[in-house]
Amino acid sequence: VENDAVTVIPELLPVLRGIVGESAVLSVDDVTAGYLRDWTGRFGAPSGVVVRPRSVDEVAQVLHSCAAAGVAVIPQGGNTGLVGASVPLAGEVVLSLRRLSDVSVDAVAGQVLAGAGATIGAVQSAARQAGWAYGVDLASRDSCTVGGTIATNAGGLRVLRYGDTRRQVMGVEAVLSDGTVLSHLSPLTRDNTGYSVPALLAGSEGTLAVITRARMRLVAPPVPSAVAVLGFGAVDDAARSAGLVRRTDGLSAVELFLPAGVELVRSVVDLPALPPAAAYLLIERDGDADGLASAVADLPGVVDAAVADDAAGRASLWSYRERHTESIATLGPVVKLDVTLPLDRAADYLDAVDAVVTGVAPGGKVWLFGHLADGNVHTNVTGVPEPDVHAVEDAVLRLVADLGGSIASEHGIGVAKREWLPLNRSAAEIDTFRRLKSALDPAGILSPATLLP
C-alpha cells in the first residue's frame, strides 16, 4: 500500500531516489517501524516515505524537490520524541538526518562540531575523551540526536547548571524549505553579526528549517561531587527548599520524587527503604559530603538526610530518581505530561493534580518527579483508558496554566499539545509565530501539523 502523498504525486519518488540513491529512500514496504512511530507509541502513521540523505547538499535537494511538489516533510533525528513532532501523520516524507553523524571536538576552544544525526551520547563521549564535557544530559542520550535536541531545546538533568540546549548552541548549518543553505558554524563565543538563527531554531520543533550540523560549546569536566537525598515533612517545604537551595554555588541537580514513587521503584529495583517523608529532594553539588550537608542544613522542614560523596553511594541515591521512568512503564500505557510550575505554586500543583486527574479518569494514578529547582514536574499518569486520555491531558494542562505554569517544559508542543498552546500564548504571540513561520517556510511544508494550532 503506497501512502497518500506518494499516491498523489508518484513522480516524487524517482526524484528522491535520484538525489540520495535507491537504497536511501525507504518506502512503506521496507521501512522499519522505528521511523514511523515515536517513543510514545501513540503518534505516527504506518505509511510514508523515509529519505536518508548523507550530506547537506542532498538535504537541500530533497527539500527543494518536496517544496516544488507541495509535499510536506518531517525532519527526524533519533525519533525519541514524546509529542508526535517527529513522525508522519498522513504520508509526509520523513527526512531522517541520522546519517549526518560526524563529531569532532576542538580541544583548545572547548567546542564540538557535530552532524544533526550524531547522538548526544556520541557527543558526550567525544567531549570526555578531549578533557571536556557536554552540558546537556538526558535519559535518551544514546538515541536522541544533536538536531532533535536543538529543535526541541532539550533540557534534561543539567539545566540548573548549564542551561538548556539553546544555551549550548553557538552556530548551526540549516536548510530552509526552499533549499537555501544557511551556514554559520562560527567557533567564536562572542559574535554579534546579525540575527541569531540558531537561537530561533532552538525550540522551533522542525517547523522553520532543517538543522544539518551544529557547533556547541563544551563545559569544564565534572569535579568530585556529593549527593544528598533529603526527606521533607511537608510537600511545600520541599518546594520552598528547591527554590532556596538554588542560591548555593556549585549545584548540579535538585530533583523531586515522592514516597509512592519510591515504593514503586523499590518494587522493581532492589534498593533500601528511605525513612518516611511527604516528599524527597535529591541534591547534587560540587565538593564533599560535609560541604553539601552544611549547604542544606538550614532548609526548612527536613526530617531526614542521607549524604554520599563516593561513587557507589551517589549512584545508589540517584537510583531512587532515575529508575522512575522504567518502573512506571511496568504499569502499562502512560500519559506523559511534562510541565513547569512557578516555584511558589509547585506545592499547589503537587497537592491538586491527583484530584484533577481522578475527576475525569477515576482509575488514573499520578506519578510525579522532575527537575524541581527549575519548576519542572514530569507528570505521568497510568491507569487511564484510551477514551479518557484527552480529558486527562486537558484537565492537567488547564490546571498548570491556571497556576501560571508552562504546558511544555522540555518535550515541546508537537502535535500532542498544540490545541492547548493558547493556554500559554496570546493571539498576538501566535500570530507572530505564524509571521516567522511564513518568513522562513513560505511554502508551509515543514512539519505542518506541529506547534501552531
Chain positions 193 to 212 lying near its own copies, rule: CB under 8 A, are 193-197, 199-200, 202-204, 208
Residue closer to its own copies by CB (options 132, 369) is 132
Containing H/E element for 229?
strand 225-232
- Tell which positions 350-369 bind its own copies, by CB under 8 A: none
Residue closer to its own copies by CB (options 138, 268) is 138
Which residue stretch of 73-81, 319-327, 350-358, 434-442 sits at the interface with its own copies (rule: CB under 8 A)?
434-442
Which residue stretch of 11-19, 24-32, 320-328, 342-350 sits at the interface with its own copies (rule: CB under 8 A)?
342-350
The span from the CA of 190 to the CA of 85, in Å, is 32
Distance in Å, CB of 356 to its own copies, minimum: 20
For 32, counting Cβ atoms within 10 Å of its Cβ (0-12 exposed, 13-18 middle, 19+ buried), the class is: exposed
Helix (H, G, I), strand (E, B) or coil at 294: helix
Binds its own copies (CB under 8 A): choice among 102, 263, 351, 431:
431
**DSSP assignment, residue 39?**
T
- Tell which positions 84-123 bind its own copies, by CB under 8 A: 108-110
Binds its own copies (CB under 8 A): choice among 54, 166, 365, 398:
166
Question: Cell numbers at residue 159, please?
Answer: 539545566
Number of H helices, E strands in the chain: 15, 16
Question: Cell numbers at residue 318, please?
Answer: 540517584
Question: Cell numbers at residue 315, please?
Answer: 549512584
Residue closer to its own copies by CB (options 313, 342) is 342
- Asked if 432 interacts with its own copies (CB under 8 A), we say yes
Nearest to 302 by CA among 231, 240, 367, 383: 231
* DSSP-assigned states of every residue in 90-125: SSPEEEE-TT---EEEETTTTEEEEETTSBHHHHHH
> Total residues at the site for its own copies (CB under 8 A)?
83
Residue closer to its own copies by CB (options 162, 257) is 162
Beta strands in 38-97 (DSSP E): 49-51, 73-76, 93-96
Distance in Å, CB of 59 to its own copies, minimum: 14
Which residue stretch of 66-74, 243-251, 268-276, 329-337 sits at the interface with its own copies (rule: CB under 8 A)?
243-251
Residue closer to its own copies by CB (options 271, 421) is 421
Site string for its own copies, 172-191 (x = CB under 8 A): ----x---xxxxx-xxxxxx
Question: Cell numbers at residue 71, please?
Answer: 509535499
41-57: b or e for each residue (b if 16 or more CB lie within 10 Å)?
ebbbbebbbbbbbeebe
- Asked if 247 interacts with its own copies (CB under 8 A), we say yes
